[in-house]
Homo-oligomer: A and B are copies of this chain.
Amino acid sequence: MSLTLYELGGRDGFRYCPFCWRTLMAMKHKGLDEFERVPVYYRDKSPIAFSNQGLTPVLVDGDRWVNDSWAIADYLEEVFPDRPSLFGGDMGRAQASFVSAWILQLHRPGLTEILLWDAFEHLDPQDRDWWRKDRQLHFGRLEDYREGREERVREWCAKLEPLRVTLSGQPFVSGEAPAYADYIVFGDFQRARCISRIKLIEADDPIYAWRERMLDLFGGFARTAPHEAA
């Protein structure tokens, strides 16, 4: 078995694609420790040209490949059925897709704008010109997102209420132990942690304690990734 994960790369080893983090956590969940991680940059998607598309993550397993984090989760579940389940069955998988739709709704407006400047600053320098031009088409001047994020954070944090209520009653979204629904949500928090020092969650929020538990998983795998957060 030879596994390679193509991830979105940033400067200085920063990895902040939330979908790649979903996949990384899913691979760890399946007990996979030996795999190569290859960064892919905005300016040159040729390393994943074989997948006939330009988005990360892409997983290569020997002579097979899968792109899209959701398809990769399905693939891992199919290929490693005897290892801890990511979904706990078809019903869990279906409901995890609801969790994914929910957290995606909070990207825009939401976390995307909050992290826009931080994201720019953590790009590989050679990606910056393209990215700035592309993002400014949608968001206007990037510098406008540099300050005054408090109100956006407050609004985003309020929208997390269903997560907060859930985690008041159980340690993980998936119940007593973490699984893919947790990795879906964690991807966004880990993205923020890697590139930003902004405080998203107060220490007395049940979400805070959950995030700590997530960071502790797999020997602190996510915690030890290059990050800006204190």
> CB within 8 Å of B: which residues of A?
85, 87-99, 101-102, 104-105, 161-163, 165-166, 169-170, 172-176, 179, 181
Contacts and interface: CB of A to CB of B under 8 A. Distances in A.
A91 B162 contact: no
A66 B107 CA distance: 40
Contact of A175 (B94, B99, B161, B170): B94
A175 B91 contact: yes
A179 B96 CA distance: 14
A51 B177 CA distance: 33
Contacts of A89: 88-89, 91-92
Contact of A92 (B95, B101, B104, B169): B95
B88 A92 contact: yes
Given A91-B85, A91-B92, A96-B95, A101 B165 contact: yes
A105 B161 contact: yes
A102 B173 contact: no
A165 B105 CA distance: 10
A181 B95 contact: yes
Contacts of A174: 91, 94-95
A177 to B, nearest CB: 8
B105 A163 contact: no
Nearest to A89: B88
A168 to B, nearest CB: 9
Contacts of A170: 94, 97
Max count, chain B CB within 10 A of own CB: residue among A94, A96, A105, A181: A94
Given A94-B173, A173-B95, A101 B166 contact: yes
A161 B172 CA distance: 23
A175 B85 CA distance: 17
Nearest to A171: B94
5 contacts: A94-B170, A94-B176, A98-B99, A104-B162, A104-B165
